[in-house]
Structures are given as C-alpha cells and as structure tokens.
Amino acid sequence: MSDAPSERAPPPTWIQNGSCHHPLMESDAEYLINNSIEFTEMFKAVILFIISILIIMTNICFIFSINIVTYRRWIPSTTRYLLTSFSSSQLVTGMLITIWGVYPTLTECWPYGELVCQLQAVLRGSLRQQTAFSLVLIALERYTTQVDMDMAKTIFSRPLTVFYIIITWLASIFIYSFIVFHPHGYYLSISSFSVCEPYYRSLRMLVLTSCIFYFPTTMLLMYCYGTIYQSQRLKMKNRKALFSALPSLIGSTMANRPIRLSQEEDNKESLIRSLSAISLTFIIVVTPWSILQVITSVTMEQPPPSVDFSVNLLFSSFSFLSPKYLEPISFLVNFLLPTEICMMKIYIFVENLQVE
C-alpha cells in the first residue's frame, strides 16, 4: 500500500499579478461592469465589514477601559498587561486583517499587491497563535495566584509578565514568517472571507500547527479554571464548616448569616468568572475551525464555501464578543452589541457554576 502524499498542490499563482485591473481593459470601472457582483459576495462583504467595525470599536473601548484609573485597583497590574496584549491582538485583526478583505470579498481579487498579501498572511496566522498564548498566560497567572500567592509574585512579576508578552509575540510572528515567506507560503482565500492566509505545503505541518494551536490551549484553560473553581468551592465549604462548628464563639445570630466576601475577594471572584467565560467562549468558537482544518488536511479537499464561511464567521466573532464578559467594565462596550446575543448564555452558565 502506498503512503498518502504529504505535499499539497501549490496555491494559485494569479495572485502574483497583484491587481484587480485586467491588462486588456481600459479601467477598473469597466472590469466591475463586466463582472457583476453577486448577492452572496455582497452579503459576505457586508458581514465582514460589520464584524470589522465591531472588532475595532469594542477592543479600543476595552483597552481604554481596563487602563483607566477607576478600574486599575479592580484588575491586578499583571492581569491588566496580559489583557491589554490579548485585546491588542484582536484590535490588529480588525484593523489589518478583516477590514482589508471587504473589497476582495466583493470582487474576488486582490488589489493591494503581493507584499501586502504576504504580510497579512503572517499576521493572520501569528495573531491567531498570539490569542491562544495570551489566554494561556492569563489562565496560568490566575492559577498561580489562587494556588500560591508567593510563587505568583515571583513567576508573574511585572517585568517577567512584560517579557512573556514580548516573547510570545516574537515567537508567533517568527513561526508564521518562516511559513509564509517560504515559496508558495500564502494564498488568497476566496471560499470564506477574502483575506490572505498561510499556506502549508506539508499536510503534516498543517495538522501539527492546528493541533498545537487547539489541544494544549484548551487543556490548559480547562485545567487552570477548573482547579480555581474547585479551590474556591473548598474555601467556601471550609468557611461554612467553621461558622457552623463555632457558634458559641461567634454567636448563633452571626453563624446563621450568609457568608459574604470582602470587596477585594468579591472583585477577584468576578474577575475569575469573566476570564473563564472568555476562555470558554474561545474553546467553543475555535473547536469547529480546528476540526475543519484537520478534516481538510486528511481528505485533501476544500470544504464547501458555505461551511467555510460559517466556521470562519464563528471564529471571527470571538474578537468582538470577548470584551463583553469582563465585569464591571462591560457596560462600556455593551451598547455596541445587542444583549440578546445567544453566546451571552455562556456567561450565565459560568456564573451559575459559582453559585452552585
């Protein structure tokens, strides 16, 4: 039995033309007249434009909110640095990736040149990876703070946190620069959003990068926040046991009162709920995308355009949904999104876990 081929066909080379203007035509306007825009292309372009505006506005508001004086006391400085890095990657996605794909989505051509396509492909892959790195660092920082405060102050000090952020950004950009600037290392994806993507010549590399992006991230996020919630429940049980076992010392009236947390502990609980909701949303929206990547690499066939569009739309929605989950500053971005969005149920689900 012969082995399955590990190399993929090279991407289309027409992108090297770098222009939507056909050399035999007099103007781009004539090109657009002779190539009418279909309804599906118009629909995709409108959706991409709306998503881009939402990503830019919500993340600008989010970065501004977490760095104003009012909420600096509510969010620890190291967590604030990591959240700023996380939101910056989403903001760059909206400003340099999705918004640039509106016109190519309408015309199925790339007018910005080959170098811009290469740079966008590098950003497309590196920003996805940087989002995963940021979420893992946030989860580890909260986990060490919950388990061992002294260790957290040592491992996640301010200088080291800034160092982690710089290293993860450089690593993400270096990895995808190596992939994209290899011959035939990029292509214009026209089946979903017309943006430039990294192109993996090796099927093994495609599967490897997808699995590294998905499995370690999801396992670390679930372990860290699961351990944090379990630790919080044990603390509450110990407090209840202490209050019920010592009524003679604290008084029967006080023992029967519901246990209330201090303002600092209540802020910490709220921060954990918000961060875990962001991580859970990431796992939900990235799972279909990762599965599609693996299926595509195994079958060596492109998915139907409708499926590819839906999966990428779901994945892109994370960039503007995540700022809504951070209390109490979410009111500054809630006016940008309808409160009846179905994915907000994720927040209610995570909040109910704490109540139970």
Burial 275-293 (b: 16+ CB within 10 A, else e): bbbbbbbbbebbeebbebb
DSSP letter string, 98-115: IGGGHHHHHHSS--S-HH
Q: Tokens for 201? A: 């010549």
Whether the pLDDT of residue 266 is over 80: the answer is no
Tokens 């992939």 -> residue: 179
Least confident of 137-141, 264-268, 274-278: 264-268
pLDDT, one tens digit per residue, over 49-73 is 999 999 999 899 888 888 887 777 7
- The 3-state DSSP composition of the chain as helix, strand, coil percent (nearest 5) reads 75, 5, 25
Of 97-106, 193-202, 229-238, 261-270, highest mean pLDDT? 97-106
Average pLDDT value for the chain:
76
Whether the pLDDT of residue 218 is over 60: the answer is yes
Residue 169 confidence (pLDDT): 95
- The CA-CA-CA angle for residues 156, 124, 89, to 5°, reads 35
Cα separations in angstroms, 155 against 148, 159, 164, 281, 338: 11, 10, 10, 27, 39
Residue 50 confidence (pLDDT): 92
Whether the pLDDT of residue 262 is over 60: the answer is no
Least confident of 31-35, 194-198, 251-255: 251-255
Q: Whose CA is closest to 190, among 81, 264, 105, 263?
A: 105
Q: Are 142 and 223 in contact (CB under 8 A)?
A: no
Task: Give the model's confidence band at 7: pLDDT under 50 very low, under 70 low, under 90 confident, else very high.
Answer: low
Instruction: Tell me the average pLDDT across 193-212.
Output: 80
Whether the pLDDT of residue 233 is over 80: the answer is no
- Report which of residues 323 and 215 the model is more confident about: 215
Whether the pLDDT of residue 163 is over 90: the answer is yes
pLDDT, one tens digit per residue, over 288-301 is 888 888 787 777 77
In whole angstroms, give the CA distance from residue 231 to residue 219: 18
Instruction: Tell me the average pLDDT across 135-156.
Output: 89
Task: Give the model's confidence band at 92: pLDDT under 50 very low, under 70 low, under 90 confident, else very high.
Answer: very high
- Report which of residues 223 and 191 the model is more confident about: 223
Cα separations in angstroms, 150 against 32, 153, 272: 64, 5, 19
Q: What are phi and psi of 219, to 5 degrees?
A: -65, -45
Alpha helices in 158-245 (DSSP H): 158-180, 203-245
Cis peptide before 5 (omega within 30 of 0): no
Would you state the torsion angle of the CA atoms of residues 326, 328, 334, 336, taken in this order, to the nearest 10 degrees?
A: -70
Residue 352 confidence (pLDDT): 46
Tokens 């290392």 -> residue: 185
Residue 29 confidence (pLDDT): 55
DSSP letter string, 67-132: TSHHHHTTS-HHHHHHHHHHHHHHHHHIIIIIGGGHHHHHHSS--S-HHHHHHHHHHHHHHHHHHH
In whole angstroms, give the CA distance from residue 308 to residue 321: 20
Whether the pLDDT of residue 187 is over 80: the answer is yes
Tokens 């809630």 -> residue: 334
For the chain, percent of residues with pLDDT exceeding 90: 24
Burial 26-65 (b: 16+ CB within 10 A, else e): eeeeebeeeeeeeeebeebbebbbebbebbbbbbbbbbeb
Task: Give the model's confidence band at 11: pLDDT under 50 very low, under 70 low, under 90 confident, else very high.
Answer: low
In whole angstroms, give the CA distance from residue 350 to residue 160: 30
pLDDT, one tens digit per residue, over 14-26 is 444 444 554 444 4
Residue 350 confidence (pLDDT): 39
